[in-house]
Amino acid sequence: MRKTALKTLLLGFTLHLSIVHQSTAQPINAQEIEQRIETLMSQMTLEEKIGQLVQKTVYGPDRIEELKDAIRKGHIGSILNAGDLTTANTLQKTALEESRLGIPLIFGRDVIHGYRTIFPIPLAQACSFDPELVSRACSIAALEAWSQGIHWTFAPMMDISRDPRWGRIAESFGEDPYLTEIMSVAMIKGFQGDNMAAPGKIAACAKHYVGYGAAEGGKDYNTTLIPESELRNVYLRPFHAASNAGVATFMSAFSDLNGIPASGNAFTLDQILRKEWNFKGFVVSDWGSVAELAVHGFAKDNREAALKAITAGVDMEMVTPCYEEHLADLVRQGIIPEELINERCANVLRIKFRLGLFENASPTPADNVLLAPAHLETARQLAIESMVLLQNDDWLLPLSKDKTVAVIGPLADAPHEQVGCWVVDGSGNDAISPRKALEQMLGIEKVLFAPGLEKSRSTDTKGFKQAVATARKADVVLLFLGEENILSGEAHCRAFLTLPGAQEELAKAVIATGKPVAVVIMVGRPLVFKEACKGARSILYAWHPGTMGGPAVADLLFGNAVPSAKLASTLPRTVGQVPLYYNHRNTGRPPVAGNYNIPTGTPLDPVGFTANYLDVSVAPEYPFGFGLSYTTFAYSNLQLSANQISENETLRISVDVNNSGNLEATEVVQLYIRDKVASLTRPVKELKDFRRVTLKAGNTQRVEFELKPSDLGFYLNGPELIIEPGDFEVFVGTNSEQTLNATFALTE
Ligand code: BGC
C-alpha cells in the first residue's frame, strides 16, 4: 500500500518535489518587492531600463552571440522561444554573470494547451465545463514547461469567438463571456498557482487584449468594431476577471479596435486596465504589433509607433526594434518623461520578482517530468470530458467489445493532426491515435483499417474502394473525419465550413454500405457536417483532442467512459448563418419558427418581415450547451426562493435532476437568465452558472444555484455596473434551448 502511494507520488504532479530548486516557496511580500524595485532602478541607466522593455526571439544558433552581446549590455529583458534548456541557460548565465546588474531574463513561450503532454485544444477544454480539471491540466503544462526553463506562457487566450471561420477559435473558449471567464481564471490558477515563485509555476498572459476574436469576416488580424457597452459586457469580461485573479501579464492584440489599434490604445490599456482595474503586472505587445502601428496607418514610422505604444501602455515590445531604437532618444528630446520608462520598467521587474527569478532563474531539470504517466492520465480524462456526443440513434453507442470494427477516414490514424494547432513542444510522435488505441483495446484482429483518404484535404478517391470493402467486412464502422491541424490556429481561417477534401463523398460511400456508422469528428472549429453524416447513427464531436485523444475516443465509444461534454460554441447549419451565437439580442422582429422556405408563387409572405433567412432556418444545427450522454436526464420541480428580491438579497434557484437511464453519468446543469426590459437591450439568454453533477442510474439530486443582484447587472458606456430593477426570466436545463423556466423581479 505504502509502496503504491509512493509510486503515485513519484509519477504524479508532486514530481516537482524531486526537482532541486532554491527559490523561496513563500510569495515575496508586495511591499518588499516595491522596495527592491526602487533600489535596483536607482542603479539602472536609461538604456538598461529600456532594455527591460525589449523582448527578442532566438532566430537560430548563428544569432546567439549577437543576443549575448545585447544581453551583456543590459539591452534585453526577455527572450521568447529560447528553444531548449541549454540555450536558455546559456543566455541566462550571460544576463546573470556578465551584465552589469545581473538582472535575470524572463523566458516566454506559447504553452497553449500543454507543453509536451498535449491536452485538447482550448475550445474543446471549454466543452468540459470542468474548471478544476482544466486548471489541473495547466498546472501540469506549467510544471513541464518550467522544467525546461520557461517562466512565462502566452496563455490563456480569452478572446470571445463567435465566428468559426476564424482559425483561432480553436484557441478560444468559444462564444460565451461567462464560460470564457471561468475557464480563463481556471487556467491562470493552474499556471501561476497562489505563488508564482513556487517550483513548477509560471506566469500567465491574458491575451489578446482586446476584441481580436471579433475580426470582421472571420479573417485573422482584421478590423474590429465593438461599441463600448458590448466591449464591457462581452469582450472585456474575462480580461477583467483575469486581472482580478492576479494574472501576471496581458498581451495587446494585433487588431484595430474602433479605429485605434490595440497596441496603441490608451483607452483599453491605460484607462481601463491600469486606472479602472488597477493592474500591476506588465503588458507585452503581440509579435511585431508595435511596429505594425505604422502599417495600420496609426503611426508614421517606428519612432512614432514606439511613442504611441509606450504612451498607451505597452510595457514590453515583442520582437520588433521600435523601443530599443527610439525610446532613449524620445526621452532625451523631452518627448516622453523618464518617469514613464521607470513605470514600465518597474512593471516588468515586479513580475520578475514575483516569479522569484532574482533568487533562482533556472530550474535544475529532473527526469520523468515530461509525459509523466499522471500527466497522460489527466490528458486522457480531459479529452474524455471534452468530446461532445451530438447524435446516438437507437443507442448505437456504447459498443460492445466483441464487435469487429472498420476504422475509416483520414483522421483515424493521424497523430500529428489530432494534437491540434499551436503545439510548439509537443509532438504527434507522443500521441496515440484512435486506430492504435482501438487495436490495444479490442485486439488488432478486430480492427480493420482503411483511411479512404490520405489527408483531410485529399481529393483523390482511389482509397474509397478499399474503405467500402473494409466497411462491409465489419460489424460497425467508425468513421474519423475532420481537419488537419494546420487548418486552424493563427492566420488559418476558412471561408467554407464544410469537411475539406473528398470527405463528404467518402462518408456517403461508407454510409451507403448500410452498416451502422458512428462518425467521430476531429477538428479545430465548429464545422458544417450534417449532410456528410446523413444516415450515420452516431456523431461524436471530438475536436483535436491531444496526445491521449485516441484512448479517450476508444473509452467513450466502448463505454469505459460516458460522454458529459457540452458545446461551448454553437454549431451552425451553414456558413451563411455565421456569426451565430445563443446570447444574441431579440431584435424588434424576432424570427417565427419554421418561417423560411417561402413556397414559390407566394406574393407576400404573411409571416415574413422577421429576422429570418429565406433559405435556411435561423436555428443552429446544435445549440450552445448541447451534448448527449449514454443516459437521459429529467429536470423537474424548478423553484425560486422568492418571486422578487431587493438589491441586497440573493435568489436561490433549485431544480431536481434525475438520471432516468441505466448508467451512472455526469450532467452539466446550466443556469441562464434573461433581463426582459432594460435601458440597453439584453441578450435573449445569458449563462450565469453551471454545475457538473454525477448521478447513479435512477438517482435524483436537487441542484441549487444562487443569483445576486450584481449577477443581473450590465455596463452601459462606462465602468459602473448598472443594476436595474425589473422582470427577469430564469432558465435551467440541459442546454441553452431545453430548459425549465420561471420568472422573478428585482425591486428597487
Ligand atoms: C500570436 C500570439 C503569440 C505570439 C508569440 C503571435 O503571432 O498572435 O498569440 O503568443 O505570436 O508566439
Residue 289: left if φ>0, alpha if ψ -120 to 50, beta else—which one? alpha
Nearest CA to ligand 1 atom 2: 286
Cα(109) to ligand 1 centroid in Å equals: 9
User: Rounded CA gap, 52 and 674, in Å?
Assistant: 48
The single residue listed with the C-alpha cell 535575470 is: 104
Specify whether the CB–CB gap between 233 and 713 falls below 8 A.
Answer: no
- What would the 3-class secondary structure string for 575-613 be? HHHCCCCCCCCCCCCCCCCCCCCCCCCCCCCCCCCCCCC
User: Does residue 286 have its Cβ closer than 6 Å to ligand 1?
Assistant: yes
Which residues are paired to 109 by β-bridges? 153
Nearest CA to ligand 1 atom 4: 287
User: Does residue 537 have its Cβ closer than 6 Å to ligand 1?
Assistant: no
Nearest CA to ligand 1 atom 8: 286
- From the CA of 171, give the closest atom in ligand 1: 9
Alpha helices in 56-176 (DSSP H): 64-72, 85-93, 122-127, 131-146
User: Does residue 159 have its Cβ closer than 6 Å to ligand 1?
Assistant: no
* Confidence (pLDDT) at 9: 32
Cα(710) to ligand 1 centroid in Å equals: 35
The three cell numbers of residue 165 are 471561420
CA distances, 323 to each of 146, 316, 737 (Å): 28, 8, 51
Q: Which of 110, 163, 256, 286 is catalytic?
A: 286
Closest CA to 346 of 419, 428, 274: 274
Alpha helices in 489-534 (DSSP H): 503-511
Cα(110) to ligand 1 centroid in Å equals: 7
User: Does residue 220 have its Cβ closer than 6 Å to ligand 1?
Assistant: no
Cα(595) to ligand 1 centroid in Å equals: 44
Rg (CA), the chain: 27
Cα(325) to ligand 1 centroid in Å equals: 22
User: Does residue 75 have its Cβ closer than 6 Å to ligand 1?
Assistant: no
The single residue listed with the C-alpha cell 476577471 is: 241
User: Rounded CA gap, 684 and 584, in Å?
Assistant: 6
User: Does residue 287 have its Cβ closer than 6 Å to ligand 1?
Assistant: yes
Please count the other Cβ atoms lying within 10 Å of the Cβ belonging to residue 586: 14
CA distances, 627 to each of 531, 545, 578 (Å): 19, 17, 21
Nearest CA to ligand 1 atom 11: 287
User: Does residue 529 have its Cβ closer than 6 Å to ligand 1?
Assistant: no
Q: How many CA atoms lie within 13 A of 703 on its CB side?
A: 28
Secondary structure class of 659 (helix, strand, coil): strand
**Candidate from 292, 490, 492, 493 with most ligand 1 atoms within 8 A of CB, to mutate:** 490
Cis peptide before 210 (omega within 30 of 0): yes
**Candidate from 287, 317, 488, 492 with most ligand 1 atoms within 8 A of CB, to mutate:** 287
The single residue listed with the C-alpha cell 418581415 is: 609
- From the CA of 207, give the closest atom in ligand 1: 9
In degrees rounded to 5, what are phi and psi of residue 282? -125, 160
User: Does residue 207 have its Cβ closer than 6 Å to ligand 1?
Assistant: yes
**Residue 194 identity:** D
User: Rounded CA gap, 681 and 586, in Å?
Assistant: 8
Please count the other Cβ atoms lying within 10 Å of the Cβ belonging to residue 741: 12
* Confidence (pLDDT) at 316: 99
The single residue listed with the C-alpha cell 417565427 is: 592
Q: How many CA atoms lie within 13 A of 672 on its CB side?
A: 26
Q: Are strands 249-252 and 205-209 parallel, antiparallel or unpaired?
A: parallel
The verdict on pTM exceeding 0.85 is yes
- From the CA of 490, give the closest atom in ligand 1: 8
Cis peptide before 208 (omega within 30 of 0): yes
For the chain, how many helices (H) and strands (E)? 21, 26
User: Does residue 110 have its Cβ closer than 6 Å to ligand 1?
Assistant: yes
> What distance, in Å, lies between the first and last C-alpha atoms of the chain?
61
Cα(426) to ligand 1 centroid in Å equals: 17
User: Rounded CA gap, 295 and 305, in Å?
Assistant: 10
647-660: burial string, b at 16+ Cβ within 10 Å, e else: eeeebebebebbbe
* Confidence (pLDDT) at 697: 98
User: Does residue 292 have its Cβ closer than 6 Å to ligand 1?
Assistant: no
Q: Where are the beta strands (DSSP E) in 326-365?
A: none
The single residue listed with the C-alpha cell 435532476 is: 657
Residues in the chain: 748
User: Does residue 154 have its Cβ closer than 6 Å to ligand 1?
Assistant: yes
* Confidence (pLDDT) at 607: 58
User: Could you tell me the mean pLDDT of each successive run of 10 residues in the chain, 748 residues long?
Assistant: 31 36 63 97 98 93 92 98 90 97 98 98 99 98 95 98 98 98 98 96 98 98 98 98 98 98 98 98 98 98 98 98 98 98 98 96 79 98 99 98 98 98 97 98 98 98 98 98 98 98 98 98 98 98 99 98 98 98 97 73 70 89 98 98 96 98 98 98 98 98 98 96 98 98 97
User: Rounded CA gap, 255 and 347, in Å?
Assistant: 24
Closest CA to 209 of 245, 164, 173, 262: 262
The three cell numbers of residue 231 are 466591449
Tell me how many degrees the CA angle 739-742-746 measures, rounded to the nearest 5.
130
In the DSSP assignment, the letter for residue 317 is: E
Has 286 been annotated as catalytic?
A: yes
Cα(331) to ligand 1 centroid in Å equals: 29
CA distances, 332 to each of 191, 322, 549 (Å): 40, 16, 56
User: Rounded CA gap, 29 and 50, in Å?
Assistant: 26
The three cell numbers of residue 694 are 454525477
Cα(287) to ligand 1 centroid in Å equals: 6
Cα(490) to ligand 1 centroid in Å equals: 8
Helices 64-72 and 85-93, interaxial angle, to 10°? 30
